[in-house]
A and B are shown apart, each in its own frame.
Chain A
Amino acid sequence: MKKILAFTLVFSLVIGLTGIAFAETKITFWHSMHREHKEALEDITAAFEEANPEVDVELVDQGGYGELSQKLTTSAAAGKLPTASQQYEDWTIQYVNADLMQPLDEVVSQELIDDLPEALVNSGTFHDKLYALPFNKSAMVLFYNTDLIDEPPATWGELLEISAELTKDTNNDGEIDQYGFGLRPTPELFSLFFHQAGGKFLNEDKTELLIDSEEGIEALTYMKDLREYSLYQTGYLSGPFGSGKVAMYIGSSAGAPYVDSACEGNHGWDTAPLPDGPANGDSMIQGTNVGVFTVGNTQAQVNAGVDFIQFMIKDKWTIDWAKRTGYIPVRKSALDSEEWQKYLDENPRYRAMTQMMREGFVYPHHPDWYSVRNIFGNILEKTMLGKGEPKELLEEGAKTFAEKYG
């Protein structure tokens, strides 16, 4: 009888312990990735699950970024957040302010943080703490038509010159058929030129918008000059670039697959680092980060979530991701790696993008930045349509900011 009892005890203990060892932690990851991007993400996830058999990751496709943001807002209100998700900086700062997120400084190795390009650390840092790791990141580059341009412009001056040369009325009907540059009045384009002119967006306590500065006027005046030789349109420029209507434009490297399909059968294309401005030739880094939510999750889930977002950007996976999607690896060690360098030799178009990733900057973090940036869009549009002078429009913009967000 005793034997049986002892056996039962040991047996149940063993079963119990195995149970604990294999207790599955289920985490959810919300994303907006589709097609090739989604497949690449699924492969990363499968590899993570294989390496961590105790964790089960459920990927949830929430449609586009707008929809993802809506879902996160609703779920945050109901306290039903996923374990981790993709997020833009101006979403993250709201979650951080509402105390919904896991700070990463203490749980992620310093080695990893040191391995991220500076702009990407800035992108994930809020109130001096790291809350998000970079994931799908792209940089602005210059796209140019290789049938028309041998040597891409290296400075603002050259960009203007080449644009002027290539703006032509080829069939003499009085209408311009080919433009040197394509200009889409996005807040990001203004911000890029503003930064390259040496401008600083906000004061220390983020109560003043500093665009009504010499740098602001210089950037906007330059863009106004460039407008003379530009196709001005609000839609994506990959179309007119592909059809040959536009010889150059500045856009996100993530647009490369669209450019490629638009140019197919029409003309050759390549990318170049951005022309240098008066202060620098930095590129704007775009794309989302990934962060972990504490609300609605157990400690085990939070831990697994942190492991997962670190796994996603291991050298092997950030390179695999970049190769399959057109984004750029997010770690210095990955950018330097033999594998990526070899890929660049085979795909020289990615060279400029890789360089730009190291020389990048991101927007300052402000909870209302999504609406603040519309001020830039308005200023740019008004300037381009001749509805005001740069100086007065910039002053007006700074005033609007002071009234609404100051």
Chain B
Amino acid sequence: MSMRKVFFKVFTYLLLLLLVSAVLLPFYWMVVTSLKPPGEVNVIPPKWIPSKPFWQNYVRAWHAAPFGRYFINSFFISVMTTIGEVVTTILAAYAFAKMDFFGKKVLFLSLLGLMMFPGQLRLIPNFMLASNLGWTDTYQILIIPWIASIFGIFLLRQYFKTIPDELWDAAQLDGCNRFRYLWTVVVPLSKPGIITVALFKFVGSWNAFLWVLIMTNKTSMRTIPVGLAVFRSEAGTHFGELMAASTMAVLPILIIFFLAQKQFIQGVARSGIK
């Protein structure tokens, strides 16, 4: 390796290291704060390592609200909305990418147009709708409105468009219908795109706050982000416990991300045509 190449490599790694630490710092700070006794949370200069890990924060945080129930709800809702969205998105995206039908362009553009309306604007009408349906405080209202996503459809449509039409021609010659072609050819080839859509959805559902807050009143129907509000009050915030609860809340997401990352790379490696 020439000097220049070595220099370039060192530089690249240094830059990456810098970026990684910028991303990791908030995580580090969250975990470290979650292990600090109350007297050390706010000191200046800040303490980078707690004098002695204060595990009590985790115990107190866990008992501050019914987090067990919140975890189950968050997990159930995230899984259901993710499955639902992946299914509806694949079907819609395929239709928009590969099929011809009357009004396709207008329909697609109107869908994109709908994305321009901010969620806050729809909140009150949605709440009235939900309450007239008698759906407040139910899993339906937390899942069903979220099993379709325009963003997901748009993303997958772009992905499906990159698949050459020759594959469909060949499949037809072998007597394959559209549905089978979609599930046996298009979907496996689009794994990275689908996983991206699923990841976005899962993280989005896991973090969803306003919708859950507005649509539910019962503790038994609420999720983790709503639960985190118990650590704040008008006179201050229990930072140690808030960070302990946040760390617990982030863990499942991290695990899923690492698992999906493996899938993600495999997906890229397997996608036959370049």
Tell me the A residues contacting B by CB distance below 8 Å.
28, 32, 34-35, 37, 60-65, 67, 70-71, 74-75, 77-78, 80, 138, 235-236, 238-240, 242-243, 245, 251-252, 254-258, 261-266, 286-287
Contacts and interface: CB of A to CB of B under 8 A. Distances in A.
Nearest to B130: A78
B41 A239 contact: yes
Contacts of B236: 236, 238, 255, 258
A245 B219 CA distance: 41
Nearest to B240: A261
A262 B38 contact: yes
B38 A286 contact: no
A64 B64 contact: no
B128 interface: yes
A34 B214 contact: no
Contact of A67 (B128, B229, B234, B235): B229
B217 interface: yes
B111 to A, nearest CB: 26
Interface of B: 38-39, 41-44, 64-65, 123-124, 127-128, 131, 210, 213-214, 217-219, 226, 229-237
Given A34-B64, A70-B213, A235 B229 contact: no
B124 A78 contact: yes
B234 A80 contact: no
Contacts of A252: 234-235
A261 B229 contact: no
Contacts of B65: 34
B234 A265 contact: no
A65 B234 contact: yes
Nearest to B38: A261
A63 B234 contact: no
Given A64-B229, A71-B214, A74-B214, A261 B39 contact: yes
A28 B218 CA distance: 12
A78 B213 contact: no
A262 B43 CA distance: 9
Contacts of A61: 219, 230
A266 B124 contact: no
28 contacts: A34-B230, A34-B233, A35-B64, A35-B230, A37-B233, A60-B217, A60-B218, A61-B219, A63-B229, A63-B230, A65-B234, A67-B213, A67-B229, A71-B214, A74-B127, A236-B237, A239-B41, A240-B44, A245-B44, A254-B233, A254-B234, A255-B235, A257-B235, A258-B235, A262-B39, A264-B38, A266-B39, A286-B234
Given A63-B229, A80-B131, A74 B123 contact: yes
A324 to B, nearest CB: 14
Nearest to A246: B44
Given A71-B214, A242-B39, A261-B39, A77 B124 contact: yes
B165 to A, nearest CB: 48
Contacts of B231: 34
A382 to B, nearest CB: 24
A88 to B, nearest CB: 10
A100 to B, nearest CB: 15
A71 B211 CA distance: 10
Given A255-B235, A255-B236, A265 B39 contact: yes
Nearest to B219: A61
Given A65-B234, A70-B210, A264 B64 contact: no
Contacts of A239: 41-43
A70 B217 CA distance: 13
